[in-house]
Structure 1
Amino acid sequence: MEQNEILAENPDPDSRIFGLTGGIGSGKTTVAKILENMGFSIYYSDARAKDLVNESAYLKSEIIKLLGEDAYNKDGLYNRKYVANIVFTNPGKLDVLNSIIHPAVKSDFKNWLQNREDKEIIFKETALLFELDLDKECHQSVLVTAEDNARSKRVMDRDGKTYREVLNIMNKQMPEKEKIKRADFVIYNNGTLEDLQNEVEKVKSEIMALQF
């Protein structure tokens, strides 16, 4: 998408939207929190998607049509484990599920942005920025990446998954080399939290030096 097309779709022409992404265990959310502490506004796409599938009657209806009544628990809340078990082995249904949820998140982001006062630089956090070509809806992209061993250890420690389970998830995501090629800025998270903060500070300086 050309720059003028992005600007035409931008709900606020005064905003510069940076897509922020990273694979499982990369530290994407930690980077988002660091940027937020620096004073930037962050739209958490993945968190909002989790809210919207519970809040929107339309989304509930469409998801049940696609995946069945068990897509929601008896309490009416989205059954993430059930849905994940289906779409993890069925790319076609995953594509349809994303086509249902993405427009709702896009609309939610537009409303969120219009209600912000600090709009000059916005970070839009999303796990599937490149997989769903959502980088085309942003001016530029920031990738958080790390070595596979570091990522797998973080996920095993955090979620209690086995190495094989984490590896299966990683193998279904876009390769890191491909993401690095597509990203405008790359944050490497292979060391300590202090190292990561320094990496974020470096990228922040590069972004602030841009001519908008």
Structure 2
Amino acid sequence: MLTVGLTGGIGSGKSAVTRLLGERGAVVVDADRVAREVVAPGTEGLAAVVAEFGPGVLGPDGALDRERLGRLVFSDPGRLAALNAIVHPLVARRSAELRAAAPRDAVVVNDVPLLVENDLAGMYDLIVVVDAPEDTRLDRLVRSRGMTEADARARMAAQADRAARLAVADRVVANDGTLADLETRVAELWEELVERAAAG
């Protein structure tokens, strides 16, 4: 098994790279998806978040209102740290369960947005960073995700900077061109990952 830690700043296209690797046969452990799962209605994670931040972070359906919670934490490092202290251990535990269930010869791609911020590089055999210039990322967040520029900049500022991500990278996937360019780069990366997994 080859464990890959895949990260990139918000708006870099990390999710697209994860999807393309999954389509090629990678076992994907998506930290964002797991993070949603561990705070779903009825979970200990959601109960802990409500205890910390109050019932105002819940929507009318009783589910976590991620947008409202995001506005609370992304402009306040102390509140963000409090949220992370609740969610990260739960995500780590569930992610470990998913990795343990993968076949022995698998390429397991762990999509971890905060890999650098949480000093998790040592957990993986190989670190892949999806990279795009800051102005490109900002444009994607505003145009594609409908964020205001202020919200997008706050989300970007809450993450490690580009230099810190590149410093931990074993491989960098540049995503500053077309989807076809990205597909070509991911195909090349996949060949290497499969070879490394086979070599043990």
**TM-score > 0.5 by shorter chain:** yes
Aligned to 1:53: 39
Residue pair 2:24, 2:190 contacting (<8 A) in 1 also: no
Structure 1 counterpart of 2:126, from 137, 140, 146: 140
Q: Cα deviations across residues 190-210 of structure 1 (Å, max 9, x unaligned)?
A: 111111111112222333443
TM-score norm. by structure 2 comes to 0.90
The 2-side partners of 1:186 and 1:168 are apart by 24
Tell me the equivalent position of 2:154: 168
Counterpart in the other structure of 1:20: 6
Alignment pair present for 1:97 and 2:88: no
TM-score by length of 1: 0.85
Change in 2 beyond 3 A, CA 1:182/1:136: same
The structural deviation recorded for 1:69 is: 1.5
Q: Which residue of 1 aligns with 2:135?
A: 149
Residue equivalent to 1:8: none
Q: Give yes or no for contact 2:107–2:193 (8 Å, CA) kept in 1.
A: no
Given the superposition, is the C-alpha separation of residues 104 and 165 from structure 1 closer, same or farther in structure 2, using an over 3 Å criterion?
closer
Aligned-residue RMSD, C-alpha: 1.8
Structure 2 equivalent of residue 11 of structure 1: none
Aligned residue in 1 for 2:174: 188
SS in 1 for 2:39: helix
Taking the aligned partners of 2:103 and 2:195, their CA distance within structure 1 comes to 22
Runs (4+) of structure 1 exceeding 6 A deviation are none
Give the superposition deviation at 1:110: 2.2
Question: Which amino acid in the other structure matches residue 205 of structure 1?
Answer: E
CA displacement at 1:152 relative to structure 2: 1.6
Q: 1:70 to 1:111 in 2, by over 3 A?
A: same
Tell me what 2:117 maps to: 131
Counterpart position of 1:120:
106
Alignment of 1:8-47 (within 5 A): 15-47=1-33
CA contact (8 A) 1:113 1:119 kept: no
Change (3 A) 1:56 1:102: farther
Distance 1:93 1:79, change over 3 A: same
Give ranges in structure 2 of 5+ residues lacking alignment.
none
CA deviation after TM superposition for structure 1 residue 118, in Å: 6.0
Q: Which residue of 69, 80, 83 corresponds with 2:69?
A: 83
Deviation at 1:67, TM superposition (A): 0.6
Are residue 106 (structure 1) and residue 85 (structure 2) matched? no
1:56 Cα shift?
Answer: 4.9
Spell out, residue by residue over 1:171-197, the C-alpha distance to the aligned partner (whole angstroms, 9 max, x if none). 332111221111111100011111111
Please give the alpha-carbon distance, in whole angstroms, between the structure 2 residues aligned to 1:35 and 1:98: 27
